[in-house]
């Protein structure tokens, strides 16, 4: 569930990135979307391949940051912050809504995995 949620997060961010390339300060919102998508793919692969608490923690951070950003910029107009553009977008549309729901599910699933015995620890070296 964690990897699937992160995969959908990556898909949505890659899909929408081109729409936000013009929204820029020093860095464009499109670039930020592509970075988020790449981080989500990396987190999903780490969760699937190494199944370690560090990988699951990374997944919590990536999914949580995506969810936090979409909620923050939906409800708060922060304006441009240093090199970041003004990303305030006070509307919900299907792709954004589904992404937020899936990101929340990925956060909760990763947190549950983090505190379960399924996230193995790598044994210390001899």
Please indicate, yes or no, if residue 30 is contained in any of the structural domains.
yes
Structural domain includes residue 40:
yes
Residues 74-111: tens digit of each pLDDT: 999 999 999 999 999 999 999 999 999 999 999 999 99
Q: Decide if 119 is inside a domain.
A: no
pLDDT cut 90: percent of the chain above it: 87
- Positive or negative, the CA dihedral 87, 106, 112, 124 is negative
What is the spatial distance between Cα 15 and Cα 115, in angstroms, rounded to a whole number?
33
Tens digits of per-residue pLDDT, 5-21?
999 999 999 999 999 99
In the predicted model, what is the mean pLDDT of the chain?
92
126 in a structural domain: no
> What is residue 123's predicted lDDT score, i.e. its pLDDT?
47
Residue 46: which residues within 8 A CB-CB, separation 6 or more?
52, 55, 58, 59
Is residue 107 in some structural domain? yes
Please compute the mean of the pLDDT values over residues 55-80 and round it to a whole number.
Answer: 96
Predicted structure pTM score: 0.88
| pLDDT band with cut points at 50, 70 and 90 for residue 118 | low
Q: Is residue 15 part of a domain?
A: yes
Overall number of domains in the chain: 1
The answer as to whether 106 is a domain residue is: yes
Q: Per-residue pLDDT for 125 more than 60?
A: no
Q: Where in the sequence is the domain holding 13, given as residue range(s)?
A: 2-114
In the chain, the N- to C-terminal Cα span, in Å, equals 34
């Amino acid at each position: 569930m964690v990897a699937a949620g992160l995969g959908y997060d990556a898909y949505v961010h890659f899909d929408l990135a081109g729409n936000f390339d013009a929204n820029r300060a020093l860095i464009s919102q499109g670039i930020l979307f592509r970075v988020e998508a790449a981080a989500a793919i990396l987190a999903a692969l780490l969760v699937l391949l190494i199944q370690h608490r560090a990988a699951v923690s990374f997944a919590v951070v990536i999914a949580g940051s995506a969810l936090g950003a979409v909620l923050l910029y939906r409800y708060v107009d922060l304006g441009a912050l240093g090199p970041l553009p003004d990303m305030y977008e006070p509307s919900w549309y299907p792709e954004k809504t589904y992404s937020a729901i899936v990101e929340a599910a990925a956060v909760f699933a990763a947190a549950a995995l983090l505190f379960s015995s399924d996230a193995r620890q790598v044994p210390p070296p001899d």
